[in-house]
Structure 1
Amino acid sequence: MSNPIDSKELAFSITARTVILLGRENISSPTVAVLELVKNAYDADATKVTVRFRNASNPNGTIEIIDNGHGMNWEDITTKWMVIGTNNKLISPISPNGRRKVGEKGIGRFALDRLASETILETTSEEQSTEPTYRLGINWDRFSESTKDLHEIKHLVEILERRNRRPGTRLRLKKLRDTWTKQDYERLYQNLIVLIPPFEKKLVGFSINLDCDEAPELSGNIRNPLIEAALFKMKCDLDESGNVKINITTRENTTDGKFKLFAKHDKKWNELFDSPEIPSCGPLHFEFYFYLRESITVQGLDIKLRQLKDYLDVYGGVRIYRDGFRIKPYGDPRGKGDWLGLNWRRVKHPGGAGSDEKWVVGENQVAAGVFVSNETNPELKDQTNREGLISNRAYNDLRAFVLKCIEYFETDRQDYERRKKSEIEPVTVDQSISDVKQKLSRELNKLEEAIDLQPHGPEKDFLKESLQQMRDVQSTSLNKVQSLYETEQESTMSKMQLLQNAATIGIAVAALGHEVLQSGRHVIDSIERLSKRLGNLMLINDEKINEYLSRLNRHGIILYSVASFALGHIDRDKRTRQEFNVDDCIQKLIDENLKAICATNNAQLDFIRGNVPHIYAFPYEIESIVTNFVTNSIAAFQRGRTRMAERQIEIETVYNEKQRSLQIVARDNGPGIAEDDKDRIFDIYSTKVDEEGKPYGTGLGLVIVKDIVENYKGSIAVHEHSSKETMRGAEFIVTFPVPKERGPKKGDEND
C-alpha cells in the first residue's frame, strides 16, 4: 500500500431536498402527520388542543392545530424547532409538568410538510415570560424546487406585540396536499381517542377538540371509549369517619357488554388495619380499571388491541390527582412512578389469576387514579421541590388504603377464577406461561434462600449477581414468548374477522347474485337497444355519444362478468372434489370472467395450454389461484404505472410426465417484485400501499394461494423478474404432484 502524498478532510452537506425526504416521503399518511402534531401539543403540556378543518376536501382548504401549551421563546425556536435531529426529547423525556413525551423525536415539524405546502406558525411563550409573540412562515415547496443547501434557505420571522395573548402555539396549514374524505376524518378520530387520558371528566388533563365543517357529527371534545374496554372497574371511597366502601363491577361473561356487580365490601378503617385511629389522610376517592392485554378484551368493541396497548403504555399505572391536577411523579413509567411497588409485587408473584399461587396485578394492566383536594386533605403536603408528597402519616395512610383496595380486588378475582378452574380445566398458552413463571420463580427463590445462608464474601456476591442475571434472563425470555404469542393471537383474530366478513359477503352474493347477474344482462341489452334507436334517428353522427355508449357497454359486460364469476365461484359443484381437466377449467374462467376484467384495466390476458392430464381436486381452488395471480398483476400495473399498451399477463400450464408434476405459471410485464419482498409476500396482511399510505387489497391473496398449494403437498416459487424475455415482470410457479392413481376420498365435499 503506497504512502499518501497529501491528505484532506471532507464533511457531509445536506441539500434542501432532505426536508422532503423527512416529511412528505417519510410520513405514510396525513392521519399520521396530524397525530404527530397533536402529540407535540401534549408534550408541550397543553391541557387543550383544537384540530380544525375547513373545506379540507379541497386543496384550498385549511387545517389548524391550536394548543394552550407553554409555547416557544426565541431560544426554543432557534435551538430546538429549527434544528434537525435535536436530542431534546432524549435528554428530557419528561415534560415540565411531568408528562412522558410521546411525540416522535424531530418528526413533528416535517409532518407539516406532509400535510400542506405552506405553514404559518404563531407561538407565545409561558405567561411569566416578557418575550413577544413570534410568527414564522414556511413554504415547504421551496425545499423541493431549490438546489441550495438546507441552511441557505431562510424564513421570515415576524415579531408581534405580546399584549394579552395567552401562551400556546397555533399552526395554520394552507394549500393542502391531500383531499380529505369522510373516511379520513373517521380514521383520524379513531386514532385521536388513544391520546385522551382516563378520568377526563374529573381532572384538568388533556382534551382534544375536533372542529370539522365537513364532518359535524365527529366534531366536539373527543371522548375516550377505552375506559369501557376495561374488564373490571373498581370504585373505592374512604369518608371522614373511616368508613370504607369498595364496589367492583365487570363486563366479563355479559351478553350486552354492560358492567354488572362483581363484589362489594363495606368496611371500617379499624377492620382493615387493626387500628383504632381515624386515618389522617382525610377522605379519598379511588378509581381503578383493570385490563387484559389480549384480543378477547376488545372483541365486540370498536377499538383494536394495539390501540389499547398504546393507551396503557401512556396512561397505565396509579396516579394521584389534587383538585383535578396530577401530582408528579406518581404513575410515571419509571423510577418513583410505581409508588405502590406493583411491578415488584408482580415479579415476586408471577402466577396467573387461576393458579394455586398468589396472584397480583401488574402496573401495565391498570389505569387508576386517587383523587384528593387541598380542602379535605390538608395533611397531604407537597415536598419543597414539588416532586411528590411528603412521606408523613397522611401519605402512608393513603398508600395503605390504595394497596388494600387493590388486594381486595386481587383476592376476589382469584377466588372467582379458581372456582371457574375447578369446574373446567382448559389448558391455555397464557396458563402454561404463567405456570412456567411460577415454577421458575419458586426454584429461584429457594436458590436465593440457600445463597443467603452462605458466609459473606466475594463468592456470595458473585452468586447473588449470577442469580439476578438468571432472573433477568428468565423474565426477558418469557416476556418475549408472551409477546410473540400475543402478536400471533392478534393476527389470528384479525384473520378470523376478515374470513367472517368474507363469509358474509359470500352469503350476500348467493342471495343477491342472480339479481345482479340479471341486471347486468338488462344493462347490456338496454345499451344495444339504445344504440339502434339512436342510429335510426336522423341525427348528425356524434362521436362523443358513440364513445359514451361504448364505455357503458364495456362496463355492463364487466358488471355481468363479475356477477357471473362470483356466483360460479360459490357453486356447490366447484366445492366438491372431482376429476377435471385444469386447462379446460382455466380456459373457461378466462373466457367467461377474467378477460372482461382485464379489458377494463387495458390488460391483455393470454393462456398457453400445456396438454395437462386430469387431476382430482376442488375446481374453485384452481380458479382462486389463477384469479389471485391475475388481479395481483393488474394491481402491479396500476402501482407501477405500467403503460396501458404494454400491460400483458400470461398464464401457462406445463406437465412433466417424468416427474409427474403439473405447473401453473403466471407472469406479466409489470414492475416485478423487489428482492427484499420475496420472502414476505406470503405473510398474512403483507401488501403494498398507495401514495396515501392505504393498502392495496387485503394482504391475504397469496396467503390463500400458498395454503391451497401446500394442502396438495405442492410448492410455490416466485421470481422477481420472469425468465421469459418478452415478460420482464414477476413470475409465479405453482407445482402440484400428480398421483398415479386418483379416486374419491372420504370427506371430499367442502362446504
Structure 2
Amino acid sequence: MTRRHLGKKPFDMSARVPMQLGRESISSSTVAMSELIKNGYDADAESVLLEFYLRDKPALSTLVLRDDGNGMDIDTIYEHWLKIGTDFKSGIELSLNKQRVLTGAKGLGRLGLDRLSKKVILYTKKKGSSSVIQLIVDWRKYEGTNASISEIQHDIYEQDLPLSGKYGDIFTSKEESGTYMVLVGLKDNWTSEFVEDLKEELRLLISPYRKANDFSITLYRNINNTEYSTELIDAQELLKAASWEIKAKVDSSNRVTLNFKNNATQEEVRQLPTPWGNWISKQGDKPLFGPLEFEFHYMVKKKEFLSKVDMTHRNWERFMALNRGVRIYRDDFRVRPYGEPTGKGDWLDIGFRKSQSPGGIKQGGWRIGPSQIIGAVSISKTTNSILNDQANREGIVENEAYLQLRTFVLKVISAFETLATKSAQGDDETDLSQELEKVVKAKDSELEKAISEIKAFTKKTQKRKKKTPPAQLVNQKLRDLDRAKLAHQKALDEYYLHLNKERKKLESQKDTLSNLASLGVLTVSFGHEIRTHSALALTNAKLLTKIVRNAEKTGKKIDYEQLVGLTSRMVVGAEYVDTFSKLAINNIKPDKRLRNKICVPTVFRRIFSMMSATFNKMGITWEFKFIKIKEEDFNIRSFEIDWESIAINLITNSTWALENTPREHRKLEVVFERLGGTRLRLSFMDSGCGLEAGQEDTIFLPMHSRKVDMRGNSTGTGMGLAIIKGQVEEHMTSGTVFAKQYSDLGGAGFYIEALKDQ
C-alpha cells in the first residue's frame, strides 16, 4: 500500500480566538481592569491612574489608563505584547527594577482590553527614549470573520516628544516612562453604582496589610463634562476601627508566632515562636504550604472605634458588607474569590461556623461572625509555589497544601475566639441568686436603719411632749412596719430556701446530662465495635441454627467442637454488648448519683476491660501503676458515675491521639499516687501526638476541640474534657485537674488531684 506526501501545515488559529479568550475567560469588567493594573505593577509602576470620561451612551465613553512603569520598546511590542500567551514572564520571578514578585504568567491579561472596549490606542515609552510607540488595536476586526489570526493587522507608529492628546499630556520628556492606554467605545455602562463596585474591587486588589507603600491606584471621573474630585483607593486607614488585631506568622524555620492585641484595653498576648509540629496536631513536622503571614481584625460596631476613622454607622455597615471575610493575597495582589461573602468566597465557612454556635461572646463556644472579620493571608509566588492558581484564575488549586493552609487559618481564628471569650467573661463568675440576696439584704439594712432613727426621734419627742398625738401615731405606724418587716423576712427566707432547692435540682440535672453526654461520646467513638460484636453474635447464632436443622433433616452427626466454637463467639459478642448496655443503663440510675467512698482503680479496671476489644484491635497496651499507695486504698468520696465518665472521656481522647503513632508504640498508662498526707493524684498518660502548644488550659473549655478533618473543620464535640473539669472541681473535695503537653510516656498527660476519703 502506497502513500503520497501532500505537504506540511501547522495548526492555525481563528481570529475569533482572542475575542473568546478576552470575553469568556475573564469573568467580568472589574476582573479585566484588575488584570491591566497587575500589568502595571509587574512593570514597576508606582502609580496607576484611571480616568473615566463618561457620556450617556457607553459607545461614546472613554477610559484612560496610565502607569509610570518601565514601558516597552518596539521589540517588546513585536515579540511579547502582540504574542498571545507569551512566556515573557515564565521563569522570571522578580520585576526588573523594584524586584517585585511578578503576578502574571499566562500572557492573557491584555486581552481584558477586549472585554472593556471596542478599540484601544496604546502609547508606551522607555526611560531615556526620545520617541513614543503607538499601537492601535480595533477589536471589531476579529468579529464575523473566518480569517486566520495572523491575517489581522494592527497599525504601529513612532511619535516624537512632547506628545499630548485629547485628554492631556501623554509623554513630555525623555526621563518619563510607562504605558498610556485610551480605551475608546466602552462596552459597559459605567454608572455610579458600577464605578463604586470597581472602587471597592480595587480597594481590595492591593492588600491593606502590604509592607511597602510603593504602589497606588487613583481614580478620576468626568461625567458629561462634570468633573469629580480625584480619589485615592486605600483601605488601610479603616482598619483602625478594629476592636482586636491578630497577627500570625509561619517563618522559614517552620515556627509559628501569634500576637493578639485588644485595642480597647491595649493589652497584648503573644505566643513565642513554636515549632509547627508542637503547635498543631497530626499535620507533620513542617507545613506543606511554606512560610506566610495571616492577619485579621475583629470589627464590631462601637462608637469609640468608629470615631477613629470618622465613619458613620451606615457607612460602617456598608464597608463591612463589601469588605468582610478573609482574603488571600499573592505578593500583595488579591486572589479571587476568597473573602467574598457568599458561595466559594466564604472558603473558611465562617457563616456556617457561626450558625452552628450562634451564642454571644460571653458564652462558651462563641464563634466570630462573617460580618465581624476582615483579614488577609499573604502568600508569595516564590515561597508558596505549591499554592498555584487554577487555569481560569478563579481560585487556588485545592491540593493538600491548600487544605492545610485552611486548617492553619481556622486554628488561629479559634485561638482568638477562645481568648476573646475569656476577656469578655472576665475573671469573676457571678451567682445570680447570691447577688439578689445581697441586694435584698442591703435594702433591708437601710430599712432597719431608717426605722431605728424614727424610733429614736419619736422617743425624744414623747419625753418632751408626752401627750403629743402625732408621736403616738408614728409609734403605731412603726409597730405596723415592724410586723410587716417580719412577714417580709419570713417570705424572703422561704424564697431563699426554694431558690437553693431549685439550684441544687438544676445542678443534679446538669450532672446527669453531663454523664449522658459522656455516654454519647462513647457511643459515637465505639459504636462501630458494638455493631461488630452484635453482628458477630447474630451471624454465629444463625449458623448454629442452620447446623442443627441440617442435622435434624439429614441425620448427620453434629460436630460438637464446631458448636462450641460458634457458641463461644456468640458469648463474646453478647458479653461486649451486655457490658456496654449495663454501663449505659446504670449511668442514669439514682444510686449512681449519690456521693460515696469510691475505689477509683476498680472503676478504671472495669472501663478498661470493657474497652479491651478496641485496645486489641488498635494494638494499644495499657498498664496501671501504684506509687506510695495500695490499690484498695485509693478511695475518693465522689460519684461513681463521674469516674466512669472521666475514664470514658480520657480513653476516647487518647485513642484519637494514638491514631498516627506506630502500632508497636501505642501505650496507655494510669498512675495512682499518694502525693503526701491525704492528697491523691491520678495521672493518665498516652504515647500519642501530645497537646498543641498553649492548649494546656484552653482544652478544658466547653466547645473547644482539637479534632479536625483535612479541611480544618472541627469534628469533635468539645465537651469531653470540659465535663471532666466540672466533675472534678465541683464534686470532689479540693479537686483539681490539669494537663501537660507531653507526659513521661511521650504523649499528652492529664492529672486529677483530690483528697483521700478516710
**What interval of TM-score do these two structures reach, taking the shorter chain for normalisation?**
0.3 to 0.5
Report the structure number with the largest CA radius of gyration: 2
